[in-house]
Structure 1
């Protein structure tokens, strides 16, 4: 994807594919602290994280050609989040590259786990409807378009560490002007964790960017293997 610069994680592990699921091939040695890029917000996380919650961040994040700026967000109902932005103090969706969240009970994550898969055949029909233009849409076309919004396109089991299983999820966008998203969700510490990136799905060919998929899974693996951050209030 030309406009995006994926996150790549330096970690001592390999990824293999067995029956469509990702798995660890080497043990990983956990580091003691998050990546340096998170240092400016660590105190904010420690003081603003809800009491009893834990936050996990990756230990190493290597950026290819853009710099990401983390930003603590506490306004999402039921979640504590760190945005990964392409601009400092981002206030626009256009600079929101990705997000890391933790929640006790995430309605969004539960929906990703339970939503029926929107098939490739259905997605091809929706793309054909969009190409025809709205002036030619029938009522059935409009219903299919609405049903496709935020639909789950892929859900693949992955292993993040021994005893911690997650799901790699591809979710369609909420409209033609916004890209689909890639997410990894899992439960750990009695909490729900999610890391997501906007984009990573080629609409023209209906395929996931394997580069972005691997980068996101590596990011989640690093998070799951690192020591959590606690509230210090």
Structure 2
């Protein structure tokens, strides 16, 4: 090997080593989204002993600013409401929730509930557009069975070894709109992320942008380090 070939070999080796160094995976500990900073202490002080909470590093589920609020009044669950106004208890402010529970009958029920088909939803929509006095008994039963029904259920991967389920749930009348959920088990606990709305009744499908945003939020939660109780 002559001198020119030797120098070229050294340059190529350095280039390869440099590339390897630059592309070496870096360990990054993402922090919870800044919106949660004012309530981190409240979370640590109020979450039940032995439980942990996971917060997403980003929250991109709404075009409006959201305000998290600690909620401990839901039986068996520790939750953060994501509201459109600070310190608001009105249902009109509610946009979403992230929560953790030791046991969750609600999640188990939705995991096993019969899926109300797209065809049935189209029939329900047609019935609702007619004069209520023209509805038959079977049509009324169909309307009742559609309330809070599961419209879609899809298994998703949140991180290696952690699978969840994405669920679309129909509303229960004008006061209860449809909702999108992601449920999963981690840390020996049951987690959920939920947003209000997100369903296109004209096409009888989940709105893709909101579905993706919710799943991304759940993925971020699953990947974040757990926040432990201070008690």
Give the TM bin, normalised by the shorter chain: 0.7 to 0.9
Residue number among 204, 208, 212 corresponding to 2:206 in the alignment:
208
Question: Secondary structure of the residue that 2:139 maps to in structure 1?
Answer: helix
Q: Which 4+ runs in 1 deviate beyond 4 A? A: 27-30
Corresponding residue of 1:66:
64
Corresponding residue of 1:166:
164
Conservation of the 8 A alpha-carbon contact between 2:61 and 2:213: no
Summarize the alignment of residues 1-150 of structure 1 with structure 2, pairs less than 5 Å apart.
31-62=29-60, 65-150=63-148
Question: Secondary structure of the residue that 2:133 maps to in structure 1?
Answer: helix
Higher relative CO (Cα under 8 Å, sequence separation at least 6) belongs to 1
Sort the Cα spacing of 1:168 and 1:28 in 2 relative to 1 into closer, same or farther, 3 A.
farther
Sort the Cα spacing of 1:120 and 1:163 in 2 relative to 1 into closer, same or farther, 3 A.
same
Gaps of 5+ in 2: 1-24
More helix by share: 2
The structure having more radius of gyration, on CA atoms, is 2
Conservation of the 8 A alpha-carbon contact between 1:30 and 1:227: no
Quick check: 1:154 aligned with 2:148?
no
Corresponding residue of 2:227:
229
Distance 2:162 2:174 in 1: 35
The alpha carbon displacement at 1:86 in A equals 0.3
- Pairwise CA RMSD: 1.7
Sort the Cα spacing of 1:50 and 1:232 in 2 relative to 1 into closer, same or farther, 3 A.
same
Question: Secondary structure of the residue that 2:164 maps to in structure 1?
Answer: strand
Residue number among 166, 177, 180 corresponding to 1:179 in the alignment:
177
Sort the Cα spacing of 1:64 and 1:173 in 2 relative to 1 into closer, same or farther, 3 A.
closer
Aligned length: 207
More strand by share: 1
